[in-house]
């Protein structure tokens, strides 16, 4: 978009201060290796499926909840401890971003992280990191709140459709910030505490999160309407309130944020990963197995559970955190479903659901109007013998018997869909594009092995995970 003379003055002001605080930058903790080399390997994943899975599997911590919470840690000048941080390449990326902005961090146990940002030492997130992951845009709000200005490039990440940031920008402008775009960089400045009211044009998780973080510090009051009620938004609000924020209306579509002078340190437990849980539910269904998941938040999984029950899969909620999936009957029904914002069926689960339905006799249909072009994985499923056809914002799936073949993941959940399909196939499936799976699934091959899925990398059989 065109930049006004006033906007150019803003850009010049920020450019002159892009290295502010550099000389006083606190010594940072070097990050230990997050993974053993075998786990981090991008070598193809080889799955020999066809056997029903079985066993008990704890659900890992939520990646999509942890990422914005780590970004929001920039708001806090005292040390915090986060429990439930998954060891993923996306975590490595967001930690390197906050480190470049002034954070110190150290792993204190397998999934617990200590972060301390005594001061913001840069207002510009490195493009080399931002370009890797869309969630990196979540540092915009925290930087604007604490430093008064921020500069960040258009984010990267998985390529499955247009995901604009216009709602982020509109919200910040409505709250009193000046936001301009210059050659792909978004530059935001505030010269007073943010205040005001904004109604989102649509439900947006990231836009809601950025607006919340931006409004947390200061003396103003911000009211957000048509805000997302996604579990990752709720978890961010609960984290910030634990550290002293004043956010009201959590879990509703209307949020009121009273700015506070500062946040304090503390400890917080991040929610379990509903998308990982849903993936393994569908692995169990596709393989006609019986699997028990523990450490799950079942309220976050109700839409997935409901559709699996409709398809004929047995779902037993044993308590608030434990669910048993029984697909041993092998008598299933095709489904017609549409994805929707939470509490509806998640767009992030539709690729895996398609893979399961590819094994179910009859014609199924999934419609995704959130990301209507998110069906690129269909060509790879078809390489495995699936019969799918993409029509506008829907995919038609004719259930059939699948067979092994070399395939390639194009994004995180497309890769997960191939894993679900491979679990159902008696032959060998060779999955490339494992770097995407490394972004979203911790120790995936060991966890598949632990429930009976024959999994190897580089021709070497992995030991069963305990």
Over the stretch 349-381, which tens digit does the pLDDT of each residue have? 999 999 999 999 999 999 999 989 899 999 999
Binned at pLDDT 50, 70 and 90, residue 21 comes out as very low
The pLDDT, as a whole number, for residue 20 is: 42
Computed over every residue of the chain, the mean pLDDT equals: 89
Q: What is the pLDDT of residue 183?
A: 85
Measured CA to CA, the distance from residue 398 to residue 443 in angstroms comes to 32
Mean pLDDT, residues 312-323: 97
Task: Given the residues 91, 158, 211, 286, select the one marked as catalytic.
Answer: 158
- Per-residue model confidence (pLDDT) at position 290: 98
The two domains 9-34+61-269 and 274-461 share their CATH topology (first three levels equal): yes
Please give the Cα distance from 336 to 350 (Å, whole number): 12
CB atoms within 10 A of CB 352: 30
274-461 CATH fold: UDP-n-acetylglucosamine1-carboxyvinyl-transferase; Chain (3.65.10)
- Evaluate if residue 330 carries a pLDDT over 90: no
Per-residue confidence (pLDDT) for residue 459, from 0 to 100: 53
Query: What value, to the nearest 5°, has the Cα angle with vertex 391 and ends 389 and 394?
Result: 90
pLDDT band at 25 (very low <50, low <70, confident <90, very high): very low
pLDDT at 154: 81
CATH no., domain 9-34+61-269: 3.65.10.10
**Selection from 351, 297, 306 nearest residue 60 by Cα:** 297
Distance CA(140)–CA(153), nearest Å, equals 10
Per-residue pLDDT tens digits for 43-81: 999 999 999 999 999 999 999 999 999 999 999 999 999
Stretch 332-357: mean pLDDT: 98
**What are the boundaries of each domain within the chain?**
9-34+61-269, 274-461
Query: Is 158 one of the annotated active-site residues of the chain?
Result: yes
């Amino acid at each position: 978009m065109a930049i006004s003379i006033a906007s150019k003055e803003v850009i010049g002001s920020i450019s002159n201060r892009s290295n502010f605080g550099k000389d006083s930058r606190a010594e940072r903790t070097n990050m230990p290796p997050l993974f053993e080399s075998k786990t981090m390997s991008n070598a193809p994943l080889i799955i020999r499926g066809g056997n029903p899975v079985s066993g008990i599997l704890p659900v890992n911590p939520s990646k999509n909840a942890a990422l914005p919470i780590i970004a929001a840690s920039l708001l806090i000048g005292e040390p915090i401890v986060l429990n439930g941080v998954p060891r993923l390449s996306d975590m490595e990326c967001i930690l390197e971003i906050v480190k470049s902005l002034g954070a110190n961090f150290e792993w204190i146990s397998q999934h617990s992280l200590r972060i301390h940002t005594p001061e913001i030492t840069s207002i510009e997130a490195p493009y080399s990191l931002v370009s890797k992951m869309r969630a990196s845009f979540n540092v915009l709000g925290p930087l604007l709140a604490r430093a008064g200005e921020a500069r960040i490039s258009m984010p990267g990440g998985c390529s499955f459709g247009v995901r604009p940031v216009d709602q982020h920008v509109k919200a910040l402008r409505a709250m009193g910030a000046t936001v301009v775009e210059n050659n792909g960089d978004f530059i935001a400045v505030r010269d007073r505490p943010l205040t005001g009211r904004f109604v989102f044009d649509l439900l947006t998780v990231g836009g809601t999160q950025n607006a919340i973080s931006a409004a947390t510090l200061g003396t103003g009051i911000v009211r957000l309407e048509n805000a997302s009620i996604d579990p990752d938004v709720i978890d961010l609000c609960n984290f910030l309130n634990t550290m002293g924020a004043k956010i009201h209306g959590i879990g509703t579509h209307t949020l009121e944020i009273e700015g506070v002078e500062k946040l304090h340190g503390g400890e917080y437990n991040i929610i379990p990963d509903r998308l990982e849980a849903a993936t393994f539910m569908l692995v169990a269904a596709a393989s006609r197995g019986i699997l028990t998941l523990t450490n799950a938040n079942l309220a976050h999984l109700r839409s997935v559970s409901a559709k699996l029950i409709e398809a004929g899969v047995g779902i037993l909620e044993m308590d608030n955190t434990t669910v048993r999936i029984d697909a041993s009957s092998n008598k299933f029904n095709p489904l017609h479903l549409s994805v929707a914002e939470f509490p509806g069926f998640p767009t992030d689960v539709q690729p895996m659901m398609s893979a399961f339905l590819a094994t179910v006799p009859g014609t199924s249909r999934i419609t995704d109007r959130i990301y209507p072009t998110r069906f690129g994985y269909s060509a790879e499923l078809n390489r495995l013998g699936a019969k799918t056809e993409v029509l506008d914002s829907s995919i038609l799936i004719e259930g059939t018997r699948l067979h092994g073949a070399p395939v390639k993941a194009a994004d995180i959940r497309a890769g997960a869909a191939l894993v679900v399909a491979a679990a159902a196939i008696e032959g060998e499936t060779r999955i490339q594009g494992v770097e995407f799976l490394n972004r979203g699934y911790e120790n995936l091959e060991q966890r598949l092995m632990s429930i009976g899925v024959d999994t190897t990398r580089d021709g070497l059989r992995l030991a069963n995970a305990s």
